[in-house]
Amino acid sequence: MSSILFSKVELQPAADGSSGALVAYLARTAQNLGQVHHLVWSLFGDRGSDRQFLYRMTGAGVRQPILLYSAEPPKDNTGLWKVETKSMTLPETAGERVAWAIRVNPVVSRDGKKHDVVTDARRTAPKDERWDDTARRVMPGWLAPRLEKIGLQVSEGDIVVEGSAKHEFPHDRGGRPVTVRTVDLSGIATVTDPATLASGILNGIGSAKIYGCGLLLLRKIA
């Protein structure tokens, strides 16, 4: 049986004193991807540099829970977080059907540089095509082979583009701000290789994993 750790973390709503003041401050100010990723990485201490975890925000900041996949449990040494962790059992049999959802930063490499897939496709798109319409047209073809690579078979026609967003925030070292485009997708897939899925799911899909992308949520379909 293959499993990884699934955690839900959120700032302690009942913290008091100085901790309560800090929780309130973080909830009010940690609203961009750059700020949030530092807070999440702190739950893994020195292990954060190995990036043996993925996370996904469920809201615009840290007021809402953050979901995590990890090889080791997150540890709160500050008393600021409420942490719930359990073992997540993955499909064991080829042919099982699963519902999935993911937030990705889709990129394509060209001339040694990474380019946003949707923005890149818009260079040859009809002039009246909206960004979201371009995403619906090109994202299934980008995602399907990546799901297949980790042991999931999916039809491009069954991939739903739920929405997209553009995030801009200051770089840690100053200079030009960081820009990250994300796309949310969902659908139904068939498990083709449970072992590959178990090893691949913690690696995530796409780029910008340090900013909350690449975590593939799975739910077995009875």
Our count of domains for the chain comes to 2
Same domain, 139 and 50: no
Residues of the chain scoring pLDDT < 70: 1-3, 13-32, 46-51
Same domain, 111 and 31: no
Structural domain boundaries enclosing 80: 3-88
Say which CATH number the domain at 67 has. 3.30.70.1200
Q: Which pLDDT belongs to residue 2?
A: 47
Q: Which pLDDT belongs to residue 48?
A: 45
Same domain, 81 and 184: no
- Decide: pTM greater than 0.75: yes
Q: What secondary structure letter does DSSP report for 93? A: S
Say which CATH number the domain at 182 has. 3.30.70.1210
Same domain, 117 and 139: yes
Same domain, 200 and 102: yes
pLDDT digits (tens, 9 = 90+) for 162-178: 999 888 887 777 778 88
Distance CA 102, CA 163 (A): 11
